[in-house]
Amino acid sequence: MGLKQAITPYLWFDTQAEEAARFYVSVFPNSRILTVARYSELGPGPEGSVMVVLFELDGMQFGAINGGTVFKLSEATSFLIDCKTQEEIDFYWEKLGAGGLYQPCGWVKDRFGLSWQVNSSALVEKAHADPATSRRVMEAMMQMTKIDLAVLQKAAEGA
């Protein structure tokens, strides 16, 4: 199965590409593994080991490659999850953060080292409102680890 979108993010792993892809498709709805390509006897990896995994997360295609220890994932690349409710924020926060690292302002690094922004477009809209609202919302968010939409709504209202 070939790629169907113009730009496809590829994630670099040491040897955990398939494990990571299977974890991600278990977390996000409407997700699946598309293909798993394995190294042949011609290498460079051990014959039969996973080389590349193509997968979809809620309809968006990704690739994961087992490239060895040359490169590591970092916060320099992250994926924002636009949550509509506090329940969604809580769900993704717990699922993706298990075995990983919870970070300020709604960021979480999963156990594979991939960074996620568990957030809401409602917050982004409030953060780009008039200067006074934006300041209050950003000040409230800077005090958070996991995003709390009720607190941010109060901040936006000036309460």
Which CATH number goes with the domain that contains 11?
3.30.720.100
- The pLDDT confidence band at residue 46, using thresholds 50, 70 and 90, is confident
Q: Is the domain of 83 the same as that of 55?
A: no
The answer to whether residues 15 and 83 belong to one domain is no
How much is the pTM? 0.90
Claim to verify: residue 82 and residue 155 sit in the same structural domain: yes
Distances in Å between the alpha carbon of 155 and those of 84, 136, 147, 148? 18, 5, 13, 11
Residues 89-107 have pLDDT tens digits of 999 999 999 999 999 999 9
Domain that includes residue 62, residue range: 1-71
Q: Are residues 30 and 1 in the same domain?
A: yes
Same domain as 150, residue 139: yes
Q: How many separate domains does the chain show?
A: 2
| Closest of 12, 10, 8 to residue 113, by C-alpha | 12
How far apart, in whole angstroms, are the C-alpha atoms of residue 138 and residue 157?
13
Confidence band of 159 (pLDDT split at 50, 70, 90): confident
Mean pLDDT to the nearest integer, 77-87 = 96
Average per-residue pLDDT for the chain:
92
User: What confidence tens digit (pLDDT) does each residue in 128-138 have?
Assistant: 778 888 899 99
Q: Where are the alpha helices (DSSP H) in 17-148?
A: 17-27, 86-97, 121-127, 131-142
Q: What is the H or E stretch that residue 55 is in? A: strand 50-57
pLDDT for 1:
56
Question: Are 78 and 126 within one domain?
Answer: yes
Q: What is the tens place of the pLDDT at every residue in 9-40?
A: 999 999 999 999 999 999 999 999 999 999 88
Beta strand 107-109 pairing with 78-82: unpaired
**pLDDT higher for 83 or 47?**
83
Provide mean pLDDT across the span 29-52.
89
**The pair of three-digit structure tokens given for residue 88, joined into one six-digit string:** 């969604």
Average of pLDDT values for 110-137?
88
